[in-house]
Amino acid sequence: MTQELIDLKQSNLEGRYEDALNLVDELEGMSKQAILRNIESFLMRLIVHLIKN
Please state the three-class secondary structure of the chain as a single string. CHHHHHHHHHHHHCCCHHHHHHHHHHHHHHHHHHHHHHHHHHHHHHHHHHHHC
Q: What percent of the chain has pLDDT over 90?
A: 13
Q: What is the pTM of this model?
A: 0.56
Residue 2 has pLDDT above 80, yes or no: no
For residue 1, the model assigns a pLDDT of: 60
